[in-house]
Amino acid sequence: MNRCAAIQMASGPNVSANLLEAEKLIAEAVKAGAKLVALPENFALMGDHELDKIKAKEVDGSGPIQSFLSSVAKKYAVWVVGGTIPIAGNDSNKVRAACLVYNDQGERVARYDKVHLFDVSVPGSNDVYRESDSIEPGTDPLVIDTPFGRLGVAVCYDLRFPEFFRKMGMEILVIPSAFTAETGAAHWELLLRARAVENLCYVIAPNQGGFHLNGRKTFGHSMVIDPWGVVLDCYKTGGGFVSAEIDLERLEKVRGAFPALSHRRFFVNNE
């Protein structure tokens, strides 16, 4: 078995301060035994304005945030799923919300660009979000083989599209997020547990959690969930982390006893 951790932050507009906080929490998670750590969406920057991320964008393969992720992975000998960071895309007026994965040698092994963009007026509040104003969507899901199992990566709003996950064939899903307080209270745990149960996989869900300097409030409640939908650990608000063991033997027992994945009769794109 291997221990994983989901880091929770309440990031602000100062990249350097956010990176210091992220490293502190990664170090604590590693001290607790984590071999895989996942950071939340926008961990390095929650700007005062939506377009601030464009000013902070990095070229793919080079930049201070990418250097940070590589260095902490190597320094602490831990796999890091790097939340999301702004990477230059095709449109100079937008960025890709890229989730980069680094192995315990500090080598980048994968990149996922957020596919589903949060263009929503949140019910019950005055909050309006238009991620498409500043973000280019990705097009492809990501699944990679790791020492911990077959790992799928998605980001925040992706969580609401169950068909997106059906073809991944993953054993672990990591979903860095920045769920709003309103939508999180209504749907965060419900959706996470549903994805775990539907796909009979572990779910590692690092979330932003708390009050941000830009006036936004995020839900927190970062958690790790097992393939039967059981919440193994949860951190409600503020900075911290949750951790739990990834037990692939248990996963196989659950899948063997309840082989719903092999009983499917309808498939995405009729495949």
Q: What's phi and psi for 118, nearest 5 deg?
A: -85, 90
Measured distance CA(43)–CA(209) in Å, rounded: 11
Average pLDDT, the chain: 95
What pLDDT score does 269 carry? 62
Q: What is the CATH number of domain 2-258?
A: 3.60.110.10
Task: Report CA 175 to chain centroid distance, whole Å.
Answer: 3
182-215 pLDDT, tens digit each: 999 999 999 999 999 999 999 999 999 999 989 8
Q: Which residue has the tokens 């899948």?
A: 255
What pLDDT score does 267 carry? 74
Measured distance CA(108)–CA(66) in Å, rounded: 9
- The domain limits of the chain are 2-258
Whether residue 4 lies in the annotated active site = no
Whether 36 contacts 79, CB under 8 Å: yes
Query: 195 CB contacts (<8 Å, ≥6 apart)?
Result: 159, 162, 165, 173, 175, 201, 203
Q: Phi-psi category of 166—alpha, beta or left, where left has phi over 0 and alpha has psi -120 to 50?
A: alpha
What pLDDT score does 122 carry? 79
Query: 125 CB contacts (<8 Å, ≥6 apart)?
Result: 180, 182
97-113 pLDDT, tens digit each: 999 999 999 999 999 99
Whether residue 156 lies in the annotated active site = yes
Q: Is the pLDDT of residue 270 over 60?
A: no
Question: Of 53, 58, 131, 156, which residue is the catalytic one?
Answer: 156
Length of the chain: 271
Question: Of 21, 41, 58, 131, which residue is the catalytic one?
Answer: 41
Q: What is the DSSP string of 102-140?
A: E-TTS-EEEEEE--S--EEE-TTSS-EEEGGGTEE----
Measured distance CA(85)–CA(44) in Å, rounded: 7
Pick from 235, 160, 246: nearest CA to 195: 160
Whether 4 contacts 37, CB under 8 Å: yes
117-170 pLDDT, tens digit each: 999 987 777 778 899 999 999 999 999 999 999 999 999 999 999 999 998 999
pLDDT band for position 60 (50/70/90)? very high
Whether residue 53 lies in the annotated active site = no
| CA quadruple 126, 130, 238, 161: dihedral sign | positive
More confident residue, 183 or 267: 183
Q: Is the pLDDT of residue 115 over 90?
A: yes
Question: Is residue 139 helix, strand or coil?
Answer: coil
What pLDDT score does 128 carry? 85
Whether 101 contacts 78, CB under 8 Å: no
Say what the pTM is.
0.96
Q: Which two tokens stand for residue 266?
A: 């309808």
pLDDT band for position 268 (50/70/90)? low
Question: Of 53, 114, 131, 189, which residue is the catalytic one?
Answer: 114
Whether 83 contacts 42, CB under 8 Å: yes
Question: CA-CA-CA-CA torsion for 81, 181, 122, 39, nearest 10 degrees?
Answer: -10
Parallel/antiparallel/unpaired status of strands 2-8 and 240-246:
antiparallel
Which whole number is the average pLDDT over 236-254? 97
